[in-house]
Amino acid sequence: MREARHKNDEKIYLIPQNLSESEVENHKQIAKKGTFTCPYCEARLIVKSGDILGNCFSHLYGEGANLPNKVRHVTENMKSKRKTIHYDIHKF
């Protein structure tokens, strides 16, 4: 996911995609200090960066862990989609 709640000002922060390597590293460092939390389940988020996903936030302790039912949010949906794709591949 691209969005996170920033601890300091409680606002939703969208991670930019045009960060330099050192800026990405900086985001990773402040994320480790607990600066970013999930706007949906309030779990701590870490910063990930890759060629395909770009820069994004990810749950520190696994997606959907200990979530109340009502916050089965975007990451949960992504998870089940991934599962579906996985099964499709195995059919062939």
Instruction: Pick the stretch among 4-12, 31-39, 47-55, 83-91 that binds Zn ion (CB under 5 A).
Output: 31-39
Please count the other Cβ atoms lying within 10 Å of the Cβ belonging to residue 78: 13
Does 1 contact Zn ion by CB under 5 A? no
Cα separation, 45 vs 43, whole angstroms: 6
Does 58 contact Zn ion by CB under 5 A? no
Cα separation, 90 vs 54, whole angstroms: 28
State which residue, 31 or 38, has the beta carbon closest to Zn ion. Answer: 38
Does 24 contact Zn ion by CB under 5 A? no
Binding site for Zn ion (CB under 5 A): 38, 40-41, 43
